[in-house]
Amino acid sequence: MVNVLCIKWGKKYGPEYVNILHSMVRRHLQREHRFICLTDDAEGIDPSVETQPIPKVDFPDFDNMAAWARAHGWLKLVSFANPLLDIQGPTLFIDLDVVIVDKLDPFFDLPGEFVVIREWDKRDGTGNTSVYRFNAGAHADALSYFKKHSDEIRNSYRNEQQYITTFFANQGKMSFWPEAWCRSFKRHCVRAHVLNLFLPPRIPEGARIIAFHGKPNPPDAIAGRSGKWYRRVIPTAWIKEHWR
């Protein structure tokens, strides 16, 4: 048994993002698994999805979901609680704003203590936590250290992924997915330079998960809305085929 975990808080992403992620995982993960959504609001989430409350971790700003804790992904650190509710074993965390285009089983076959995306636009070894795998309960020190040093950490790191990937890198516990597996829609699918004015975005060779960080989100890209005046996105039919 393996686990696929996501988290939803606030109104940025509606329940359809959870439902569609669940559907994509079911189609692309063959081995027996639990799909768990940690959330502060399960309304609209399909009953077939296992929902659990965002766990309390004895840190008031997380437990009360302070505004800063909801910004820049900091609340994702609760995934390192021990115990993590009743979740045990290999756990693949996936952000809600992704499109899965190929099999997920290899994400559980690759060895490593904490495996994550290598951030696409940095050269310092920072990871991108749109997709990461760990053993549930194995890294409580990452959360406990943050709780003791939260002000210092927030002054040093812009977001959760910078902190957590630096923490694991310093312990020698971090490794990266093969580069082709997790790609950025904006950086790797949208055509370069003026080609984006004439050609629709494409699925990069070998890609398994496409991350839609920032703008556009999958529904925007389907409709051809880029979210930025300077970045045109032609309506992208393959997203509609996969994001369902």
For residue 37, what is the enclosing H or E element? strand 33-39
DSSP string across 165-198: HHHHHHTT-EEE--TTTEEEIIIIISPSGGGGGT
Mean pLDDT, rounded, for 122-150: 95
Residue 21 CA to chain centroid, in angstroms?
11
More confident residue, 191 or 113: 113
Mean pLDDT, rounded, for 188-210: 89
Q: How confident is the model at residue 103 (pLDDT cuts 50, 70, 90)?
A: very high
Question: Is the pLDDT score of 33 beyond 90?
Answer: yes
Q: What is the pLDDT of residue 199?
A: 86
Q: What is the pLDDT of residue 195?
A: 78
Q: How confident is the model at residue 127 (pLDDT cuts 50, 70, 90)?
A: very high
Least confident residue range of 24-33, 37-46, 116-125: 116-125
Set out the domains of the chain in order of their start, with CATH numbers.
2-176 (3.90.550.10), 182-242 (no CATH)
Question: Is the pLDDT score of 201 beyond 80?
Answer: yes
More confident residue, 193 or 157: 157
Question: Is the pLDDT score of 230 beyond 90?
Answer: no
Question: Is the pLDDT score of 229 beyond 70?
Answer: no
Q: How confident is the model at residue 187 (pLDDT cuts 50, 70, 90)?
A: very high
Mean pLDDT, rounded, for 213-226: 90
Q: What is the pLDDT of residue 47?
A: 97
Residue pair 74/80 in contact (Cβ under 8 Å)? The answer is no
Q: Which amino acid, one-letter code, is at 91?
A: T
- Four-point Cα dihedral 98, 102, 106, 112, nearest 10: -20
Q: What is the pLDDT of residue 78?
A: 98
**86-102 pLDDT per residue, tens:** 999 999 999 999 999 99
Mean pLDDT, rounded, for 182-195: 90
Q: Is the dihedral of CA 125, 131, 134, 140 positive or negative?
A: positive
* Helical axes 140-148 vs 160-170, angle rounded to 10°: 120
pTM above 0.75, yes or no: yes
For the chain, the maximum distance between any two Cα atoms, rounded to a whole number of angstroms, is: 53
